Structure 1
């Protein structure tokens, strides 16, 4: 009886470890942003070589500027994350269907996320956020 309980406990721990270590990254996705401040981080995605981040229909609360700065970061497990550059998005503030896009190339195969580096001190709203890893669009 002891051996069965011990084996069941080991199996349960193994299953929990598999769930914890399972990748949570997505290749391409679409979402929105509501009232995000500087420092906001997106969900993670798997990528290699190329990524594009698009914002459609941007507004800001508590800020007069019509811009936001977006950086793509490499999500490193055992060391500090790497910033692969920042883009300033302005066009998406021109109307609900206006789009700003940033492209990052030459990325090593890894997990990535974008971070709002600056929101002009306000809270950013984006009607549609899209992330794409296919350069041939």
Structure 2
């Protein structure tokens, strides 16, 4: 009997600890992916990702940018069936050109569930750009 009581106590302590961690943990983003870019030209489209309705928005980070300019414009798009895709505000990334470890960040509000992608230097403006590390969180 003593063994069962100690196992029960251990289970209660473990469950309590898990509950406390769950209460104080901050909500995580629904998903993310990372990659890099090498010499992409104006109009380059990223891979697409599905963003659920539980998303808090989209964050795109570029670290270590190089290229012919000192700015790269990033536009978030939502794919729409049978209509032109919806574009959202452009983010001008400049800080990522300062050094290989400098990061530029763009944040977009939640625009509902759907397939998303970003376009680099939309509209054909700018030169090629390389990005050492990029992260998309949603």
Q: TM-score, normalised by structure 2?
A: 0.71
| Structure 2 residue aligned with 1:89 | 93
Residues 1:115 and 2:122 are matched in the alignment:
no
Does 1:54 pair with 2:61?
A: yes
Moved over 4 A (4+): none
Aligned pairs, number:
105
Q: Which runs of 5+ in 2 are unaligned?
A: 1-30
TM-superposed deviation, 1:91: 0.3
For structure 1, the residue ranges without an aligned partner over 5 or more in a row are: 1-26
Secondary structure at the aligned position of 1:106 is classed as coil
Structure (1 or 2) with the greater strand fraction: 1
Higher CA-based Rg: 2
Q: Residue 72 of structure 2 contacts residue 126 of structure 2 at CA under 8 Å; is this kept in 1? A: no
Give, in angstroms, the shift of residue 79 of structure 1: 1.3
